Structure 1
């Protein structure tokens, strides 16, 4: 029997589990800086639920009927609280998402695409004109998925943090 997945906002009692999923997913990225190199980044991942304290910020999860969290992403209704190293606060009529993570045991099941599609859907309902995201070469599977879903490179949104070059993308709605 095929697993049925539900996409919804995470509940506070799921924040810790979701944060651990994100930490595990990012640690597993080949050559991506680890917790010793980027302790503040991994602390932010572990405590990802605290981002929802800001207005218009949702932690969206993909969860099975029996409570297994397969993936998560943080959605920003507008760019005021996006909080990446890029200055995108001036991007008007834009939504964004960050920190897409899929559990190792569910990769290849379309979880990432479902989460991204939900972010695009929400942006459309909120009458945003574009969705802005960032990715790195370490995340080549996600990068390819974004491009297949219609996101276009936006070099003006690029930035560098530590030794990581972070590439900006836009999707017009």
Structure 2
């Protein structure tokens, strides 16, 4: 049966099921605020730098680094993702951000991962901080965890933003940061 808006009950149930699955995952929603986000960010940052040594050098050259310790995504045709993290400048948290994503299409599954955005220019960092809702787009260069040992030395040209996704658990076919929207939050 199709509703007046063209959605079937099955599609509606699939979307609400994905939302329920997403809500059941421990991604920091309803947490103790800034202290818990900071603890997760510091732990993730330490893991990142010890597991992928080149990222420490990359961070030292970056104007700022957004660390997202845990993004949870789930989907069954309709899907979504959510997580919270912190923007660090010179090793100090300056702002907190949420990352959200809504998707529709060929997808099934759930996954959790961490990621970091290295803002390599003051201009890119300023644009991110001034934006009421910044979305990962074509100006983001993706690095793989396999490049983690050498990425800091490989990146000689100035890229505005370098993204590294790591610590992935679970699986959703075709998952990327494309379409993830970042918004400043007050935890």
User: Which structure carries more relative contact order (alpha carbon 8 Å, separation 6+)?
Assistant: 2
Normalising by structure 1, report the TM-score: 0.27
More strand by percentage: 2
**TM-score between the two structures when normalised by the length of structure 2:** 0.26
Q: Which has the larger helix fraction?
A: 1
Please identify the structure whose Cα radius of gyration is greater: 2
